[in-house]
Amino acid sequence: MKRREFLSSTLAIAAASLAPRSTRAADGLVEILMNEPVGDIAPEFHGHFTEHLGGVIYDGIWVGENSKIPNVGGIRKALVDRMRQLNAPVVRWAGGCFADSYNWRDGTGPRAKRPVRTNFWTNDPDLWKAADGPQKFEPNTFGTYEFMRFCQLCGAKPYLAANVRSLTPNDFDEWVDYCNSPAGSTTLAATRAADGSKEPFNVVYWGIGNESWGCGGDFKPEEYATEFRRFTAWVPDYGLKLRFIASGPGTAVQDAQIAWTRGFFEGLLAKGPEELAHLYGLSMHYYCWTTGKGDSLDYTVDDWYQLLWQADVMDSLVNKHWLAMGEFDKEHKVKLVVDEWGAWHRGPAIDPRYLFSYVPTMRDALVTGINLDIFNRHAEKLAMCNDAQLVNCIHTLFLAREDRFAPTTIFHVFDMYKSHQGGRSLRFVSSAPSISYGAGKSLWGLEGSASVHGKTLVVTVVNPHASEPRVADVVLRGASARSAQVTVLAAPDIHAHNDFDHPQAVEPKTEPANVAGSSFSWTFKPASVTKLEIDLA
């Protein structure tokens, strides 16, 4: 604290002549410690998740080859274009809980002859009331080949979730065969060629089950550990380095989550320490749930702060699971994979058929910035993160219905943060007066992350205050700024959002920033996400 107090007082004078000017004295401090690298920010931290749930696949991604909606082989073109804009690194499929009942063979062969199955989510009361269609009765029009084609069009790597609840290790081996066996080598390679791809897909990311403590089999952790060993033993790799990701914790109670992590590692290592060689990552799921009315568009200022507070819980979860994993993996060769995260509201729905869909607002934009900054600050602990979900669902980047399409506030934050991809995360330290709300609750005043890319420094900062700007002294310890540009996502109303009728209501603004030297003052707008891209001297 003494160090921060000293910096705040001495740097205020040096920063006074630098833009943006403010009549307010600095009440915050942001330090970027250039000589304290944390780890590499893998592009996979900005991964996505797609499930056969509501309108994610049908009408979201897949519109059909004969659709009047612009498409590439049946895949919505507007979505592909935006995914390429994001440099989308990886997409997870087929679930989620849908994966726990999915037989990959159903999505192969001529589309007109593929079986129609009852969707996993059909028992949900809201979906059952909706009209019949692919959201309730899965036509399997969109199968492995179609998903791989979507990934190829987007420039993203595929990440497949195997069904551990109701299929066998042999079924898994054969799915790997279908995806990765060389052209003309096996019967399943011929099946793949008939579906549209003679050449292998070379899938390396494989999730062994999904939420195996719940919809993925109701296993105890030690029981699931046995299944993990069975599914990953002697899988044909076809010369690839397959990366198996175990189904990790995701319950609401933190103590139960840690118990699953410990129980899984104990069960896995019961056979011997060599079993760690099969484990690339441990999955973790965490959603922040809305409070008050539970409405995505109608909420109070206290509801705003409470959701941002819940989003910040991700920080402690990453730390706690990392420590628990370290009890068994002393060298930390196994990384965390946060392959489901985001905010969860109750609506209003985009379409009655689109289960769990809603229109995101600025509140969801800040939830996104908070999480992406957390991932950056823990870069050494993570291998991949996947926002849930991509389109027409919870924490969605895109809204799509028939010929209408709109990017959400969440999309714009991902677009801003793509500048971090491939950079080196740096120690980021911030302090600002906390925000009091509710009955004795509080939230930090400023938070963010930083990464360096050669002579470019990228700094992202979230100001969660619903109505007040935050003036902060920004200090580059070990570097000096020569010039910069700033991108800000903000709106006068914390409920601001994009929808089909107003697809550009909220968009970030980019402009030159009057920044120079090793320290400067900056005013962060209220309820905002800010990115400073700084050219270093």
Residues noted as catalytic: 211, 340
At which residue do the structure tokens 């590499």 appear? 40
Q: What is the DSSP letter of 360?
A: -
At which residue do the structure tokens 């020569």 appear? 482
Angle at 479 between CA 475 and CA 481, to 5 degrees: 75
What's phi and psi for 335, nearest 5 deg?
A: -110, 165
Determine contact, residues 321/257, Cβ cutoff 8 Å: yes
Integer Cα distance of 134 and 19 in angstroms: 54
The helix (run of H) or strand (run of E) holding residue 379 is none
Q: Report residue 301 CA to chain centroid gap.
A: 25
Determine contact, residues 106/146, Cβ cutoff 8 Å: no
Q: Report residue 484 CA to chain centroid gap.
A: 28
**Pairing state of beta strands 47-49 and 382-388?**
parallel
With helix as H, strand as E and coil as C, how does 97-132 read?
HHHHHCCHHHHCCCHHHCCCEECHHHHCHHHHHCCC
Integer Cα distance of 265 and 272 in angstroms: 11
At which residue do the structure tokens 């009955």 appear? 439
> Pick from 285, 390, 311, 296: which is nearest to 345 by CA?
296
> Pick from 349, 239, 354, 333: which is nearest to 295 by CA?
349
The SS3 call for residue 47 is strand
Determine contact, residues 32/456, Cβ cutoff 8 Å: no
Q: Which amino acid is at 460?
A: T
Determine contact, residues 357/55, Cβ cutoff 8 Å: yes
Measure Cα distances from 292 to 299, 301, 383 in Å.
7, 10, 34
With helix as H, strand as E and coil as C, how does 404-461 read?
EEEECHHHHHHHHHHHHCCCEEEEEEEECCCEEECCCEEECCCEEEEEEECCEEEEEE
Integer Cα distance of 49 and 91 in angstroms: 5
User: Is cis: bond before 348, omega within 30 of 0?
Assistant: yes
